[in-house]
């Protein structure tokens, strides 16, 4: 990847982070989990996935499934940046007159499937991948899961089946931001050594810095990793990435900020001015 | 033609059909040879099978998926509701050994709440054939429809030759002035025999094979209520959420009040054993069904004329 290309991706990622901040007021959203996968989603749409505004329903397109679901502000921000949806539509967040809410739904162009209940989309994506194999089609299917989501047994069940069917057109990307909803993964249900677990289930695994576009590019460029195995990319990330005042804060999972706070967060993002956050934490959503 | 022959026949005509099973091949033994890679066995993974079926349906396939019905409808319930139901995808569920057909397996394998669960999913259609003849008569329409559906599979051979299946319609076997029996699935045969026993005592007895429980044939229930002085719901299902509940909902909606007797399972799992022993001990032989109904009917008459 040329450095000007990397700069362009970084610029888009910065814009997406601003969209996420904008969606965190007037009801709020899952800010931290959205910020951790910005680079992954921006890279996928701008550099990897064979899909464009005119090929949203083309059977030969590539597929992205957002399995953790609550990171959807990062997807909506990206879809707005690449023109799948209008930027002003993000202002409709949580209005019943539109369909932009806390979890993905198929009414939004670019959203392949609804999610929110964890551990579902690896199986749905495996069904899509299997159909592509049956038709000898070359579509690539990518699923982004959370790391806390890996608690769900259905993820591992699906890996067994997908590897039995040799689905090397399927790639699972783990947004390894180290957090469940409110607790660190390793303090609650430890996942490490995670790469070994995926290997033991028959996958071919690589582990990268999930905020480094060059590393992301290198990993995705190597797909398929093997002849007949599911590809797994463990992307080490930081929950709340880009906003030090919420980075790695266990209690900043769902955030409903005031307008004043989002103003400060924008300054923190763009000018490194620390935001003073006073709104309630550990909100149940 | 049996279930499997019909499945092969339809799949060979329609490339969109794929046949899936969570490693239970009893009903689909010959499918691998007939359909090759359009037969997909996911192993003992009901959740993954349902999720993958949703993915295949997103690609334009019509997955016909098989498992023992307790594991299909309960283990994978949220996957059915969320991946198939919310998306309204044309995935066709075939659950077998429902109700008493699990005979000696025990409560883990008893599916006596499947009708209640499946009809609780918006857009899901629910079918319960009386026997193999009824099953193969309804299947073509069920699988050709664009809706998700659940079939409470009963592939046992029955003694009755059913009328052809008409979409959304129950099969009216007979009409009766005194009592109408409403039934679905495996208990059809014994209920038919119970009807004959009741008629031998001089009663006028109607019989309705419900066939489709959702969307239900409301007119069949309403007509029976207008013709008879008592209705009976016969089902190998809990009395909550099944046919007894459906009849209650329809009568309430149409503002009709009349006695309805449930001949169903009350708040417990049934005692496992060979099928005939189960029918005997749970009171679902033709004689016991008839006795229970006659007793209720004559008590009712006494109260009315007291």
Mean pLDDT over the full length of chain A:
95
Residue pLDDT, tens place only, A224-234: 999 999 999 99
CB contact under 8 A, B48 and A130: no
What is the band of A285 on the pLDDT scale with cuts at 50, 70, 90?
low
CB contact under 8 A, A131 and B48: no
Provide long-range contacts, Cβ within 8 A and 24+ apart, for A279-283.
Answer: A279/A255, A280/A256, A281/A249, A281/A251, A281/A252, A281/A255, A282/A182, A282/A251, A282/A253, A283/A28, A283/A253, A283/A254, A283/A255, A283/A256
Give contacts of B87 with chain A, Cβ < 8 Å: 106, 113-114
Give contacts of A134 with chain B, Cβ < 8 Å: 18, 37-38
Q: Is the pLDDT of residue A282 over 80?
A: no
Q: Residues of chain A with pLDDT > 90: what percent?
A: 91
Task: Write down all domains in chain B, each with its CATH number in brackets.
Answer: 3-152 (3.40.50.970), 171-305 (3.40.50.920)
Residue pLDDT, tens place only, B94-140: 999 999 999 999 999 999 999 999 999 999 999 999 999 999 999 99
Backbone angles phi, psi at A171, to 5 degrees: -125, 125
Give contacts of A117 with chain B, Cβ < 8 Å: 78, 82
* Residue ranges of E strands in B12-166: 17-21, 39-41, 62-68, 92-96, 125-127, 149-152
CB contact under 8 A, A123 and B61: no
What is the band of A248 on the pLDDT scale with cuts at 50, 70, 90?
confident
Residue pLDDT, tens place only, B147-200: 999 999 999 999 999 999 999 999 999 999 999 999 999 999 999 999 999 999
Mean pLDDT, rounded, for A181-198: 95
B75 and chain A: CB distance < 8 Å anywhere? no
Write down the pTM of the prediction. 0.96
CB contact under 8 A, B82 and A122: no
B59 and chain A: CB distance < 8 Å anywhere? yes
pLDDT of amino acid A283 = 67
Cβ atoms of A221 and A213 closer than 8 Å = no
CB contact under 8 A, B48 and A123: yes
Task: Write down all domains in chain A, each with its CATH number in brackets.
Answer: 3-271 (3.40.50.970)
CB contact under 8 A, B48 and A114: no
What is the band of B25 on the pLDDT scale with cuts at 50, 70, 90?
very high
Give contacts of B59 with chain A, Cβ < 8 Å: 59, 127-128, 131-132
Q: Residues of chain A with pLDDT > 70: what percent?
A: 99
CB contact under 8 A, A127 and B56: yes
Q: Residues of chain B with pLDDT > 90: what percent?
A: 98
Contacts (Cβ under 8 Å, ≥6 apart) of A85: A76, A79, A108, A109, A110
Q: Is the pLDDT of residue A251 over 90?
A: no
User: B residues 199-238 near A, CB within 8 Å?
Assistant: none
pLDDT of amino acid A182 = 85
pLDDT of amino acid B262 = 98
CB contact under 8 A, B82 and A129: no
Cβ atoms of B46 and B23 closer than 8 Å = no
B43 and chain A: CB distance < 8 Å anywhere? yes
Give CA B290 to chain center in angstroms.
21
Per the model's pLDDT, the better-predicted residue between A278 and A218 turns out to be: A218
Report the alpha-carbon distance of residue B134 to residue B129 in Å, rounded: 5
Q: Is the pLDDT of residue A284 over 90?
A: no
CB contact under 8 A, B42 and A117: no
The ipTM of this complex is: 0.95
DSSP A46-114: III----TT-TT-TTS-EEEESS-TTHHHHHHHHHHTTSS-GGGGGGTT-TTS---SS--TTSTT--S-
> How far B51 CA sits from the closest chain A CA (Å)?
5
């Amino acid at each position: 990847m040329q450095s000007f290309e990397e700069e362009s991706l970084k610029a888009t990622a910065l814009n997406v982070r601003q969209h996420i901040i904008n969606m965190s007021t007037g009801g709020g959203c899952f800010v931290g989990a959205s910020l951790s996968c910005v680079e992954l989603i921006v890279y996928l749409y701008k550099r990897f996935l064979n899909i464009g505004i005119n090929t949203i329903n083309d059977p030969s397109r590539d597929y992205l499934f957002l399995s953790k679901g609550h990171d959807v502000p990062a997807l909506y921000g990206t879809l707005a940046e690449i023109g799948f949806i209008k930027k002003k539509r993000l202002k409709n967040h949580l209005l019943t007159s539109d369909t932009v809410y806390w979890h993905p739904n198929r009414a939004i162009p670019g959203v392949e499937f609804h999610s929110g209940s964890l551990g579902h989309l690896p199986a749905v994506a495996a069904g899509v991948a299997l159909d592509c194999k049956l038709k000898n089609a070359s579509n690539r299917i990518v699923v982004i899961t959370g790391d806390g989501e890996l608690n769900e047994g259905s993820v591992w069940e699906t890996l067994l089946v997908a590897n039995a069917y040799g689905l090397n057109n399927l790639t699972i990307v783990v947004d390894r931001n180290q957090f469940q909803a409110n607790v660190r993964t390793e303090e609650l249900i430890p996942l490490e050594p995670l790469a070994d677990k995926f290997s033991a289930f028959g996958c071919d695994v690589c582990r990268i810095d999930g905020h480094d576009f060059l590393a992301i590019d290198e990993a995705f460029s190597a797909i398929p990793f093997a002849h007949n195995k599911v590809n797994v990319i463990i992307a080490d990330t930081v929950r709340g990435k880009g906003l030090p005042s919420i980075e790695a804060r266990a209690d900043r999972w769902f955030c409903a900020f005031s307008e004043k706070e989002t103003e400060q967060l924008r300054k923190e993002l763009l000018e490194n001015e620390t935001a003073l956050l006073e709104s309630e934490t550990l909100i149940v959503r | 033609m049996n279930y499997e022959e019909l499945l092969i026949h339809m799949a060979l005509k329609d490339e969109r059909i794929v046949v899936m099973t969570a490693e239970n091949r009893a009903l689909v033994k010959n499918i691998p040879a007939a359909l090759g890679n359009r037969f997909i066995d996911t192993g003992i993974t009901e959740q993954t099978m349902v999720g993958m079926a949703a993915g295949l349906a997103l690609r334009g396939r019509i997955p016909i998926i098989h498992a023992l019905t307790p594991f299909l409808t309960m283990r994978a319930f949220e996957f059915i509701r969320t991946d198939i139901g919310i998306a309204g995808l044309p995935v066709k569920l075939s659950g077998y050994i429902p109700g008493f057909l699990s005979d000696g397996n025990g409560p883990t394998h008893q599916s006596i709440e499947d009708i209640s669960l499946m009809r609780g999913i918006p857009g899901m259609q629910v079918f319960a054939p009386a026997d193999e003849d009824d099953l193969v008569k309804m299947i073509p329409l069920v699988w050709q429809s664009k809706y998700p559906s659940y079939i409470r599979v009963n592939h046992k051979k029955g003694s009755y030759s059913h009328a052809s299946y008409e979409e959304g319609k129950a099969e009216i076997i007979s009409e009766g002035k005194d009592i109408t029996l409403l039934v679905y699935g495996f208990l059809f045969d014994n209920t038919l025999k119970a009807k004959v026993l009741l008629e031998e005592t001089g009663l006028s007895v109607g019989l309705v094979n419900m066939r489709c429980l959702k969307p239900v044939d409301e007119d069949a229930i309403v007509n029976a209520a207008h013709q008879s002085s008592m209705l009976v719901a016969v089902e190998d299902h809990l009395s909550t959420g099944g046919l007894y509940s459906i009849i209650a909902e329809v009568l309430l909606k149409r503002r009709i009040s009349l006695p309805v007797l449930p001949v169903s399972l009350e708040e417990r799992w049934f005692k496992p054993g060979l099928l005939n022993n189960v029918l005997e001990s749970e009171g679902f032989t033709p004689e016991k069904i008839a006795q229970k109904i006659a007793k209720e009917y004559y008590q009712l008459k006494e109260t009315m004329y007291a």
